[in-house]
Amino acid sequence: MSASQNPYSAAQLEQARKLGTSTLFEACGIATASVDPLVRTIWPGASVAGPAYPLECSPGDNLAIHVAMEKVPRGSVLVVKTGGFVAGYWGEVLTVAAEAAGVVGLVIDGGVRDIAALTARRFPVFTRGISVRGTIKASVPSVGQPLSFTGTPVASGDLVVADDDGVVVIPAAHVNATLDSGQGRFDKEARIMDELTKGRTTLELLGLSAWRQGA
**Integer angstrom CA distances of residue 26 from 10, 13, 124, 147:** 23, 18, 23, 23
The structural domains of the chain, with segments of one domain joined by +, span 10-172
Q: Is 58 within 8 Å of 142 (Cβ atoms)?
A: no
Predicted model pTM: 0.93
Q: Which pLDDT value is given to residue 2? A: 45
pLDDT tens readout for residues 172-207:
999 999 999 999 999 999 999 999 999 999 998 888
Distance CA 126, CA 41 (A): 4
Binding residues for substrate: 91-94, 113
pLDDT tens-digit series, residues 138-176: 999 999 999 999 999 999 999 999 999 999 999 999 999
Q: Are 86 and 105 in contact (CB under 8 A)?
A: no
* Domain 10-172: homologous superfamily in CATH: Ribonuclease E inhibitor RraA/RraA-like (3.50.30.40)
Residue 214 pLDDT: 55
pLDDT in tens, 17-52: 999 999 999 999 999 999 999 999 999 999 999 999
Q: Nearest CA to 48 among 159, 143, 185? A: 159
- Which residues sit in the known binding site for Mg(2+)? 114
For 49-98, what is each residue's pLDDT tens digit? 999 999 999 999 999 999 999 999 999 999 999 999 999 999 999 999 99
Residues making up the binding site: 91-94, 113-114
| Phi, psi dihedrals of residue 45, rounded to the nearest 5° | 95, -5
